[in-house]
Amino acid sequence: MANESPLLHLGLQRLFGTNEPPTGPEEHALNILLADRRARAAALAAQVGTLKTLLEQLTDEHTGTNEAIDGLSRLLAPVRRLPAEVLGEIFLWALKSYRVHGQKRTRAPWFLGQVCRSWRNVAISLPSLWAKVTVHNDYNNLADVRRRTHEIEEQLARSSGGTLSVLIFWSTQTEVPIYGIFPTCGTGGSPLRPVEALAKNHLPRLVKAKFQVHWARQIESDVFMHAPNLSRLLYMTHNDAVRVPWQQIQRCYLEGYMPNHVAALSMAQNLVELELNLDNEEGPVSVFATLPSLRHLDGNVEGMKSLVAPALETLYLGEAWNLDFVRDFLARSRCKLRALDIKQEAISEDEDAPATDMAMVVEILRCVPSLELLLLTTWDWPGEDEEYEYPRPAVEILFAAMQLTGSATDIVPNLSTFVYAIPEDPFQTETFLDMARSRASASIRMPKSWRSCLDVELSANVAWIGGQELRRLRTSNFPSR
The confidence score (pLDDT) of residue 472 equals 93
DSSP letters, 4-59, are --TT--HHHHGGGGS-PPPPHHHHHHHHHHHHHHHHHHHHHHHHHHHHHHHHHHHH
pTM: 0.74
The confidence score (pLDDT) of residue 292 equals 98
DSSP letters, 236-273, are EESS--S---GGG--EEEEEEEGGGTHHHHHT-TT--E
The confidence score (pLDDT) of residue 108 equals 64
The confidence score (pLDDT) of residue 371 equals 98
∠ Cα 283 255 139 (to 5°): 140
Which of 332, 419, 321 is CA-nearest to residue 368? 332
The confidence score (pLDDT) of residue 447 equals 86
Please give the single-letter amino acid code of residue 479: P
Contacts of 362 (CB under 8 A, 6+ apart): 397, 398, 401, 402, 411
The confidence score (pLDDT) of residue 243 equals 87
User: Has residue 206 been placed in a domain?
Assistant: no
Question: Total structural domains in the chain?
Answer: 1
User: Has residue 377 been placed in a domain?
Assistant: yes
Give the helix, strand, coil percentages of the chain, each rounded to 5. 40, 15, 40
Helix ranges (H only) for 159-220 are 175-181, 193-199
Extended beta strands in 78-180, E state:
99-100, 103-104, 132-136, 164-171
User: Has residue 98 been placed in a domain?
Assistant: no
Please give the single-letter amino acid code of residue 327: R
pLDDT tens across the length of the chain (481 residues): 445 555 455 567 778 878 888 888 888 888 888 899 999 999 999 999 999 999 999 999 999 999 999 999 988 888 888 888 888 888 888 877 665 444 444 456 787 778 888 888 888 888 888 888 877 766 666 777 777 778 888 888 888 877 888 887 776 544 433 333 333 333 344 555 555 555 667 778 889 988 887 766 666 677 888 889 999 999 988 777 788 999 999 999 999 889 999 999 999 999 999 999 988 888 888 899 999 999 999 988 999 999 999 999 999 998 878 899 999 999 999 999 999 999 876 555 555 667 788 999 999 999 999 999 999 987 555 444 455 456 678 899 999 999 999 999 999 999 999 999 887 788 888 899 899 999 999 999 988 877 766 666 777 899 888 889 999 999 999 988 7
Which of 349, 400, 356, 403 is CA-nearest to residue 375? 356
User: Has residue 202 been placed in a domain?
Assistant: no
User: Has residue 358 been placed in a domain?
Assistant: yes
The confidence score (pLDDT) of residue 345 equals 61
User: Has residue 445 been placed in a domain?
Assistant: yes
The confidence score (pLDDT) of residue 130 equals 85
**Rounded Cα distance, 395 and 400, in Å:** 9
User: Has residue 156 been placed in a domain?
Assistant: no
Which range marks the domain in which residue 358 is found?
Answer: 315-481
User: Has residue 230 been placed in a domain?
Assistant: no
